[in-house]
């Protein structure tokens, strides 16, 4: 029995390679996704864990701000607190430190070192070595003003060594210093692309204007004192004004935030892994059905000669096992490829992952489990059928496909359709997060519905849309159309890979095009400024830039914009602080009442939805509480139509600074004298040259930059499209090969009565195109529905326009047809090559 098994494996190399490829792809997606996620986690969690002190103390925010990253005020922690903490039982050491973002090393050409979007961090050097996550590898620690130490990666990238002079951009003034030391950070020295610059404590405090205060305290616990216990004791000692967290809590928190930020990618990847596996198992099922069908006689003969049913089944399953194990192994290797491709893609988005890829035991386990199990299950069904075939029947007849009823499909599909449609329609009736959730539920429902219903729809589609085939290609078209109707389940399963892939891509294309159009509209209608000054990844910069620009000739107005978060009437709201004097010159807001004149002093401008929600009118008084706990009474001075260029609420710079807001700018909007747009540019550029971190953009460049982010995400989606196309092609090739094989005698007959090879090829090709166009049409329709609903649901996120990129979608359809043509090449050639007499003689 085993010898037959082996012989079969070898005899059907090509077809096995084929289903093997399907397993490889499916497993590659699963393992690639897992490897990539693990690598992400390793990079960040390891960084957080190895760098966080046992227990840390920070000033408590008045509320947990939804705004992360720079932009809020500077943490301030009086030096007296350090003494309180040291006195706590179980504290081995405690030290105050200063840490800030926005410290960038300029390379030897005076350019900001490209951190790929990761922050440039400045820290004070710890006196207490046990508390420091940094380890000197060269030189010494910075001890006075004018001395810094650099992390090793930064030193290597810039080429600086101990003794070199460097220029640094800081949140305060630009700093010139000498490199006195080089250090590694954390356990493996990885910083995920971030750069780290260490100063002595006094310099760091002066840089942020902290006096003798700190931004935080790090604590090392004494032996035998669990972090949690010490945390609780410290919390009791310092009171409610400070947040006390353990290393574990910090790491978890940041890892969770990271995961949430990347969940979109994970979901997408998982979806594609799902498609790959679905198609993969379908291909395996097909392949084994074919292999078994071809061998029905042989198996029946074995049975007639006394082999038990179990033996026959086992023989097929062993083949599947060998295939599954081989495929999974190659799949894990392929997963590495996918993960490194993703890493490369992400680094172009500005997320650099240092270190090797992480292959965890669970990735390997899952990959094999999925690959082998899917293969075994897919092979079991035909094997059981083969074993159940009575020997006599198998010797007599050629394989008959029994058509099962589609009633259950119709039922399931109908229920899913109802759920899906309800979700999508519901999403149009509500706003915000609920709408997005409804789109999610509705979308999932519709995807399931289409998968369930597509065998039911396949025949009507082939009949109606396929009707053009006979008209254009006569008999070959007619035959292709008839063939496409023969096994609707198989057609549907084949088309579904393309369907799901195209649906995703279509939905995101609509969303992307709408987002881009919204950016254009926004900039067209509300940006009055001629130039925008900002930094690449939105990190704040010194107000000196604005000062310098104000003194440039022909620059009429400079509007500084800062962002922060505050409680307005107890509701957390994103607020923007702007120059009230120049606002109208640079930003055209659409006021329904009041105006920018009322912003000065303690004025407040709110957008319509916010005003409606609170029932505010011009003249009302509103209490604002900032994260630093400072409060202010503001008077509503105007209500404007919601605008993405600003926040739901605007305050004056004066109010912002007075309530503890950061004194760093996020955007500068410049209005120059009419007609001077060209001539003034070089003067403006010259004014900002000393600040390499900020860039100057005119209106078009600014629009392109905004759209660039959308386009990058679209590129990622398109890369995934390529992969789903690849899988779809495999599926179609497989189905066609199977059909060709099943129809060997028909093909022989057709050739005998005078069909040319080219006509035969065309028949196969047209059938293939019909299948792929079917999948594409379903995908486009589904994706269209999802895209439109999603865009609508996100309208309060600034996607105000709805654009359906018709040309692009038409291209997708054409691509679908082309996929059909390509997928048919090999099966068609096989069909055409068959020897007439052999084909006829085939039973």
Contact residues for another protein, defined by CB under 8 A: 474-476, 478-479, 482-483, 485-486, 745-746, 749-757, 759, 836-837, 840
Name the one residue in this structure whose structure tokens are 């002190």.
Answer: 53
Question: Looking at beta carbons only, is 396 or 613 nearer to another protein?
Answer: 396
Beta pairing partners, 557: 671
Question: Looking at beta carbons only, is 476 or 791 nearer to another protein?
Answer: 476
CA distance 195 to 151: 7
Please tell me what DSSP assigns to residue 127: S
In whole angstroms, how close is the CB of 739 to another protein at the nearest point?
12
In whole angstroms, how close is the CB of 747 to another protein at the nearest point?
10
CB distance 566 to 628 below 8 Å:
no
For the stretch 557-575, what's the b/e string if a residue is b when 16 or more beta carbons lie within 10 angstroms of its beta carbon? Answer: bbbbbbbbbbbbbeebbbb
Question: Looking at beta carbons only, is 243 or 746 nearer to another protein?
Answer: 746
Question: Looking at beta carbons only, is 498 or 740 nearer to another protein?
Answer: 740
3-state secondary structure of 413: helix
Helix (H) or strand (E) holding 727: helix 699-742
CA distance 291 to 4: 13
Question: Looking at beta carbons only, is 233 or 761 nearer to another protein?
Answer: 761
Residue 765 φ/ψ region, left for φ over 0, alpha for ψ in the -120 to 50 degree band, beta for the rest:
alpha
Pairing of strands 55-59, 242-246: antiparallel
In whole angstroms, how close is the CB of 405 to another protein at the nearest point?
19
CA distance 610 to 571: 10
In whole angstroms, how close is the CB of 473 to another protein at the nearest point?
10
Phi, psi values for residue 800, rounded to 5°: -85, -25
Residue 299 φ/ψ region, left for φ over 0, alpha for ψ in the -120 to 50 degree band, beta for the rest:
alpha
In whole angstroms, how close is the CB of 426 to another protein at the nearest point?
44
Return the structure tokens found at 661: 């807001």
Burial of 546 (0-12, 13-18, 19+ CB in 10 A): middle
CB distance 502 to 773 below 8 Å:
no
Name the one residue in this structure whose structure tokens are 């910075």.
Answer: 142
In whole angstroms, how close is the CB of 837 to another protein at the nearest point?
6
Which residues are CB-neighbours of 820 under 8 A, at least 6 positions away? 732, 765, 768, 769, 770, 771, 772, 773
In whole angstroms, how close is the CB of 479 to another protein at the nearest point?
7
Return the structure tokens found at 749: 């007959």
Question: Looking at beta carbons only, is 673 or 843 nearer to another protein?
Answer: 843
Which residues are CB-neighbours of 210 under 8 A, at least 6 positions away? 74, 76, 98, 204
Please tell me what DSSP assigns to residue 648: S
In whole angstroms, how close is the CB of 471 to another protein at the nearest point?
13
Question: Looking at beta carbons only, is 314 or 751 nearer to another protein?
Answer: 751
Which residues are CB-neighbours of 527 under 8 A, at least 6 positions away? 586, 587, 588, 645, 669, 699, 702
Question: Looking at beta carbons only, is 525 or 842 nearer to another protein?
Answer: 842
CA distance 795 to 793: 6
Name the one residue in this structure whose structure tokens are 């486009």.
Answer: 780
User: Residue 156 to residues 134, 161, 402, 408: CA-CA distances in angstroms?
Assistant: 16, 8, 68, 64
CA distance 843 to 834: 14
In whole angstroms, how close is the CB of 759 to another protein at the nearest point?
6
CB distance 244 to 235 below 8 Å:
yes
What radius of gyration do the chain's Cα atoms show?
Answer: 33
Sign of CA dihedral 336, 342, 345, 350: negative
In whole angstroms, how close is the CB of 307 to another protein at the nearest point?
22
CA distance 645 to 639: 15
Question: Looking at beta carbons only, is 395 or 713 nearer to another protein?
Answer: 395
Beta pairing partners, 603: 635
Question: Looking at beta carbons only, is 429 or 753 nearer to another protein?
Answer: 753
In whole angstroms, how close is the CB of 300 to another protein at the nearest point?
15
Please tell me what DSSP assigns to residue 646: S
In whole angstroms, how close is the CB of 762 to another protein at the nearest point?
11
In whole angstroms, how close is the CB of 801 to another protein at the nearest point?
49
Question: Looking at beta carbons only, is 689 or 838 nearer to another protein?
Answer: 838
Beta pairing partners, 198: 123, 149
Contacts 24+ apart (CB under 8 A), 457-461: 457/492, 457/778, 458/484, 458/485, 458/488, 458/491, 458/492, 458/495, 458/774, 459/485, 459/488, 461/774, 461/777
In whole angstroms, how close is the CB of 753 to another protein at the nearest point?
5
CA distance 142 to 200: 5
CA atoms within 13 A on the CB side of 556: 15
Question: Looking at beta carbons only, is 163 or 754 nearer to another protein?
Answer: 754
In whole angstroms, how close is the CB of 399 to another protein at the nearest point?
13
What does the H/E/C string look like for 548-560? HHHCCCCEEEEEE
Question: Looking at beta carbons only, is 213 or 742 nearer to another protein?
Answer: 742
Q: Which of 281, 761, 742, 716 is nearest to 496 (CA)?
A: 281
Question: Looking at beta carbons only, is 569 or 836 nearer to another protein?
Answer: 836
Question: Looking at beta carbons only, is 631 or 837 nearer to another protein?
Answer: 837
In whole angstroms, how close is the CB of 754 to another protein at the nearest point?
2
Which residues are CB-neighbours of 138 under 8 A, at least 6 positions away? 161, 162, 181, 182
In whole angstroms, how close is the CB of 483 to another protein at the nearest point?
6
In whole angstroms, how close is the CB of 474 to another protein at the nearest point?
6
Question: Looking at beta carbons only, is 478 or 830 nearer to another protein?
Answer: 478
Question: Looking at beta carbons only, is 361 or 402 nearer to another protein?
Answer: 402
Question: Looking at beta carbons only, is 490 or 751 nearer to another protein?
Answer: 751
């Amino acid at each position: 029995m085993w010898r037959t098994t082996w012989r079969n494996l070898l005899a059907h190399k090509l077809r096995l390679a084929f289903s093997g490829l399907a397993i490889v792809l499916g497993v590659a997606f699963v393992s690639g996704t897992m490897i990539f996620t693990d690598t992400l986690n390793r990079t960040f969690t390891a960084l957080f864990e190895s760098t966080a002190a046992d227990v840390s103390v920070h000033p408590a925010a008045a509320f947990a701000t939804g705004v992360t990253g720079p932009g809020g005020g500077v943490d301030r922690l009086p030096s007296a607190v350090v003494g309180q903490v040291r006195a706590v039982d179980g504290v081995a050491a405690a030290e105050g430190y200063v840490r800030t973002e926005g410290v960038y090393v300029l390379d030897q050409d005076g350019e900001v070192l490209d951190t790929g979007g990761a922050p440039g961090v400045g820290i004070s050097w710890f006196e207490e070595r046990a508390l420091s996550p940094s380890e000197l590898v060269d030189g010494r620690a910075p001890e006075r003003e004018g001395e810094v130490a650099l992390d090793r990666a930064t030193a290597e990238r810039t080429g600086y060594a101990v003794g070199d002079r460097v220029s640094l951009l800081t949140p305060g003034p630009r700093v010139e210093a000498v490199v006195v030391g080089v250090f590694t950070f954390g356990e493996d020295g990885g910083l995920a692309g971030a750069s780290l610059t260490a100063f002595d404590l006094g310099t760091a405090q002066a840089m942020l204007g902290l006096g003798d205060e700190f931004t935080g305290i790090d604590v090392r616990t004494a032996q035998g004192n669990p972090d949690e216990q010490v945390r609780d004791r410290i919390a009791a000692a310092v009171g409610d004004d400070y947040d006390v967290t353990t290393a574990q809590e910090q790491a978890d928190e940041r890892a969770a935030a990271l995961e949430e930020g990347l969940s979109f990618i994970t979901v997408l990847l998982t979806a594609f892994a799902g498609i790959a596996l679905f198609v993969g198992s379908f291909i395996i099922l097909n392949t084994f059905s074919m292999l078994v069908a071809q061998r029905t006689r042989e198996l029946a003969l074995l049975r007639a000669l006394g082999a038990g049913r179990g033996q026959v089944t086992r023989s097929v399953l062993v083949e599947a096992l060998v295939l599954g194990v081989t495929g999974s192994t190659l799949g894990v290797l392929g997963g590495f490829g996918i993960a490194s491709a993703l890493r490369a893609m992400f680094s172009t988005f500005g997320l650099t992952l240092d270190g090797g890829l992480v292959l965890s035991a669970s990735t390997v386990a899952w990959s094999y489990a999925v690959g082998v199990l899917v293969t075994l299950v897919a092979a079991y069904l035909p094997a059981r059928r083969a074993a159940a075939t009575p020997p006599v029947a198998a010797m007599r007849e050629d394989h008959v496909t029994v058509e099962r009823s589609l009633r259950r499909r119709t039922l399931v599909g109908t229920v899913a359709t109802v759920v899906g449609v309800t979700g999508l329609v519901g999403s149009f009736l509500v706003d915000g997060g609920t709408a997005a959730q409804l789109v999610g539920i509705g979308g999932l429902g519709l995807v399931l519905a289409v998968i369930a219903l597509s065998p039911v729809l396949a025949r009507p589609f082939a009949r109606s849309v396929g009707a053009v085939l006979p008209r254009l290609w006569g008999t070959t078209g007619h035959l292709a159309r008839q063939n496409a109707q023969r096994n609707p389940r198989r057609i549907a399963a084949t088309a579904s890979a393309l369907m799901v892939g195209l649906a995703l891509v279509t939905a995101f294309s609509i969303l992307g095009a709408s987002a881009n159009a919204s950016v254009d509209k926004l900039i067209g209608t509300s940006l009055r400024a001629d130039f925008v000054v900002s930094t690449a990844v939105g990190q704040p910069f010194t107000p000196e830039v604005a000062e310098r620009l104000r003194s440039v000739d022909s620059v009429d107005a400079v509007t500084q914009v800062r962002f922060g978060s505050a409680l307005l009437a107890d509701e957390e709201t994103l607020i923007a602080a702007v120059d009230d004097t120049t606002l109208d010159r640079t930003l055209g807001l659409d006021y329904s009442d009041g105006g920018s004149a009322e912003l000065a002093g303690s004025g407040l401008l709110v957008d319509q939805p916010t005003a409606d929600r609170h029932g505010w009118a011009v003249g009302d008084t509103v209490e604002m509480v900032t994260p630093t706990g400072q409060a202010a009474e503001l008077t509503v001075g105007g209500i404007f139509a919601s605008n993405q260029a600003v926040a739901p609420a605007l305050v004056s710079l004066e109010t912002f600074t007075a309530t503890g807001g950061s004194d760093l700018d996020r955007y500068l909007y410049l209005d120059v004298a009419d007609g001077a747009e060209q001539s003034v540019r070089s003067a403006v550029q010259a004014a900002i040259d000393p600040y390499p971190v900020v860039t100057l953009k005119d209106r078009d460049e600014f629009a392109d930059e905004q759209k660039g982010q959308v386009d990058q995400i679209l590129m990622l989606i398109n890369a995934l499209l390529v992969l789903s196309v690849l899988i779809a092609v495999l599926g179609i090739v497989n189905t066609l090969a199977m059909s060709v094989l099943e129809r060997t005698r028909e093909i022989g007959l057709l050739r005998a009565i005078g069909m040319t090879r080219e006509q035969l090829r065309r028949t196969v090709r047209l059938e293939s195109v019909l299948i792929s166009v079917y999948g594409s049409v379903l995908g486009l329709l589904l994706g269209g529905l999802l895209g439109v609903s999603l865009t609508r649901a996100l309208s309060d996120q600034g996607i105000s326009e709805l654009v359906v990129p018709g040309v692009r979608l038409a291209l997708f359809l054409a691509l679908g047809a082309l996929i059909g043509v390509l997928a048919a090449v090999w099966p068609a050639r096989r069909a055409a090559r068959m020897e007439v007499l052999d084909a006829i003689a085939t039973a």
